[in-house]
A and B are shown apart, each in its own frame.
Chain A
Amino acid sequence: MNFVDQFRTAWRNLSRQKLRTSLTIFAIVIGAVSVTVMLSLVTSTKGFLVSSAEQIGMDRSIIVTGLPGLGYGSSQWNRADGSGKRIDTDSLALIEKLGNVNSASLHTNDGGFFESLTIDGFQITMKNVALEGYSPNGTVIHHMLVGDELSVNTNGSGFLISSNLASELGYKGKEKTLIGKEISLKYRTDWGPPEAKKGDEIGKIVGVTSSDGQNLLSMDLDWAVSMQTLTWSQKGPNGKTETRIESQIAKYGFGSIWIDVNDKKNVDAVMGEIKQLGYGVAAGKEEIDNQATAFTIIGAILGGIGGIALLVAAVGVINTMVMATLERTREIGIMRAVGATKKTIRRLFRVEAALLGFVGGFYGVVISFGFAFGLNQILNKQLADSSIANRNIVSISPQVALLVLLITTLIGMLAGSLPARRAANMDPVEALRYE
């Protein structure tokens, strides 16, 4: 029997039991949709995160800290006990001299000296808000939701606030209206000696960054340094009034140095050189890899869940095909009597089962495309007001679609193998007698 005839016969046999065929296909559709959507969702999100990270040059960035073993993004004060290497302008000069370094910036990350933050008369405590200071020379780049990055034009008095902080201030979804608004930061009253009291720090919001759950306020490095410096007058031992300056930075050094390497291929080499200087290093690409690995694991788990759905569907195919062999026992006998070999019967049932898998997979993929389209419409709406360029985040690649189609067809064929063998091995004489 040639393939076209086998296909035609299989299709016809399936059409004879419309309800049963539809239910079996429905189970495969559920499995196919689960696998396709889950795999695509994870792959797309992974791709989105990686490309977003690469957009801001995270794959080329290195963070230098005074202590080894700190993760990417950890900007740690050097220990007061002297452990760790001091990070200061000398360190920066050393690093800037290294080859393949595009730019570098000293970086501070603290906020413990402020008590509260006020915007439009609304005040929140600074307990959970971190302050970040860096040179706006293009080394540190944020994902901007609205507004612009800090630049030399902000004259050292602009703030970037994270979307998380914006939400806390009651501007969720209205981030645009924050641009140009004034923020005032009130110092803690118990910070430093009473003579060194400082007035509030006031600056304008120039941009809102998309954040991963962190309340962060970013500003120019010089401003951040000045915030951490106390100046006051007091009488010295000789009775003369003298000016005292106490700077946290001068005392402990900066938190870290951020580096932008000219090419991600050179990141490892630059890291090696910095390590030799005795500093701790962490690369952005490692962070990207970690996130990508996490998503791969999530993908495998979700894909596994989809796989279970497909396995259940396979049991459905086995059930359907076993029923078919029982119902068609006499037909099998007639086919054998007119000359069908065991192989022909086996193939016929396998093609039928594979067809169930293929049709289920086909509808599953089509529905998944529809699902992805719908999900993208919702996500695009969410992203409409942001500066994030990526649209249609959830995309089903033709490879995934083809793979799912292939898998469902193969599962159908495998599930149909046992009933097919059973049909082929029927004794033709017994089969012809079957009522």
Chain B
Amino acid sequence: MAFIQCSGLKKTYTVGGEEVKALDGVTLSIERGDFIAICGPSGSGKSTLANVVGGLDQPDEGSVVVDGIDLARAKDKALSDYRNKQIGYVFQSFNLQSHETALENVISPLTVAGVGKRAERRERGMKALERMGLSDRAKHKPTQLSGGQRQRVAIARALVNDPQLIIADEPTGNLDSSRGADVINELKRLNADGITLIIITHDTNVAAQARRIIEIKDGKISERSGAQ
């Protein structure tokens, strides 16, 4: 069985009294270690698909099974556990806690899960920051960091718990092209290390670097192959 198996996913939102089909019978398989780009115009349902695969949202119909866990039927505890241990999120707007330092942000998945002692968590956090070349920024607050640095802190947070999957939702959306390229390179390096990578983007240059490109429009998907 594939690492991620989505079958007949449906999700409908009501916006201003009108029903919008964000996912309309999406069936998709993703193998371990794959690099997928999900593309599509605004409101096409790409973030909804990412959220469903990431365990932040549940579909109205269909099933989504990741590494044997049925996310569509999982309870809050199991879903939270999945988000904490199996995946790492990278958001367009970084989503860092502004009152915490870079290190505190990075170790937040460990703190939330109550993993180990504080010193152990800090050590793991420092390693993740080092991997992103930000060990000298550990005590800085997000406001004291550049956009690119903030996104790398977010990536460090995503990988601190050694996830199998990273979901990056428009990771370069708030960055200039050079810093955006740096971030994509970091993510590709992680993918090369064996982490499955799903990038949601409407940037064709970013999408072109993925092995598989999933186009989504009006909740339906179509696929074309990307870079080999």
Which residue from B76, B85, B97, B111 sits with its C-beta under 8 Å from A342?
A: B76
On whether A5 and B111 interact (CB within 8 A), knowing A428-B56, A429-B56, the answer reads yes
Contact with B along A313-348 (1 / 0, CB 8 A): 000000000000000001101111111111110000
B80 touches A341 (CB 8 A): yes
Which residue from A1, A335, A337 sits with its C-beta under 8 Å from B56?
A: A337
A331 to B104, CA, bound (A): 14
Does more than half of chain A's interface fall in helix, strand or loop, or is it mixed? helix
A367 at the interface (CB under 8 A from B): no
B81 touches A334 (CB 8 A): no
B114 touches A2 (CB 8 A): yes
Q: A257 CB to closest chain B CB, in angstroms? A: 76
Residues of A within 8 A of B224 (CB): none
A1 touches B113 (CB 8 A): yes
Contact with B along A1-15 (1 / 0, CB 8 A): 110010001001000
Interface residues on A, range: 20 to 34
A9 to B107, CA, bound (A): 13
Residue of B nearest to A333 (CB): B95
Contact with A along B89-117 (1 / 0, CB 8 A): 10100011101000000001101111000
Instruction: Among A1, A9, A340, A344, find the residue whose CB has the most chain B CB atoms closer than 10 A.
Output: A340
B84 at the interface (CB under 8 A from A): yes
Q: A281 CB to closest chain B CB, in angstroms? A: 70
Residues of B within 8 A of A340 (CB): 80, 112
B84 touches A338 (CB 8 A): yes
Residue of A nearest to B91 (CB): A432
Residues of B within 8 A of A432 (CB): 56, 91, 95
B179 at the interface (CB under 8 A from A): no
A16 at the interface (CB under 8 A from B): yes
B70 at the interface (CB under 8 A from A): no
A428 to B57, CA, bound (A): 8
B57 touches A1 (CB 8 A): no
A336 touches B95 (CB 8 A): no
Residue of B nearest to A427 (CB): B57
List residues of B (72-93) whose CB comes within 8 Å of A's CBs: 76-77, 80-81, 83-85, 89, 91
A343 to B78, CA, bound (A): 12
B51 at the interface (CB under 8 A from A): yes
Residues of A within 8 A of B76 (CB): 341-343
A374 to B91, CA, bound (A): 59
Beyond A337-B83, A342-B76, 10 extra complex contacts between A and B, CB < 8 Å: A5-B114, A335-B108, A336-B56, A337-B56, A338-B108, A338-B109, A339-B83, A339-B112, A341-B81, A427-B57
6 nearest interchain CB pairs? A339-B84, A341-B80, A338-B109, A2-B114, A340-B112, A339-B83
Give chain A's interface residues, CB within 8 Å of chain B: 1-2, 5, 9, 12, 16, 330-331, 333-344, 427-429, 432
List, sorted by A's number, 12 A–B pairs whose CB atoms are closer than 8 Å: A2-B114, A5-B114, A334-B96, A337-B91, A337-B95, A338-B157, A339-B84, A341-B80, A344-B112, A428-B57, A429-B51, A432-B95
Give chain B's interface residues, CB within 8 Å of chain A: 51, 56-57, 76-77, 80-81, 83-85, 89, 91, 95-97, 99, 108-109, 111-114, 157
